[in-house]
């Protein structure tokens, strides 16, 4: 939660120029009230982890046999 005694808290209702407001936005956003961190139950099931993308994945996605592709590349 935001600390009302923090000096930046007093800028929440100030009329700032658009340029100054953009420059201060990250700091003002950091001190705004944030929602609580969700629990595991609220988040639900974890997303499936995809394997890292590599040459083999790309070649197979194109419908090419990886072993033939690899053999052809070694011949060059």
Tell me the torsion sign for CA atoms 69, 70, 75, 76.
positive
Based on the structure, what is the number of domains in the chain? 2
28 and 2 in a common domain:
yes
Task: Read off the pLDDT of residues 3-51 as tens digits, 9 standing for 90 and up.
Answer: 666 777 777 678 889 999 899 888 888 877 778 888 989 988 887 776 6
The whole-model pTM stands at 0.36
- The reported pLDDT for the residue numbered 27 is 83
Range of the domain at 10: 1-34
27 and 2 in a common domain:
yes
- The reported pLDDT for the residue numbered 65 is 92
Q: Is residue 45 part of a domain?
A: no
1 and 30 in a common domain:
yes
> What CA–CA distance (Å, rounded) separates 61 from 43?
31
- State which H helix or E strand residue 68 sits in: helix 66-75
56 and 30 in a common domain:
no
């Amino acid at each position: 939660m935001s600390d009302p005694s923090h000096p930046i808290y007093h800028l929440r209702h100030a009329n700032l120029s658009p340029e100054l407001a953009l420059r201060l936005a990250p700091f003002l956003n950091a001190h705004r009230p944030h929602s609580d961190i969700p629990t595991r139950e609220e988040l639900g099931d974890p997303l499936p982890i995809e394997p890292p993308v590599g040459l083999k994945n790309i070649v197979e996605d194109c419908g090419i046999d990886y072993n033939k592709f690899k053999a052809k590349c070694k011949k060059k």
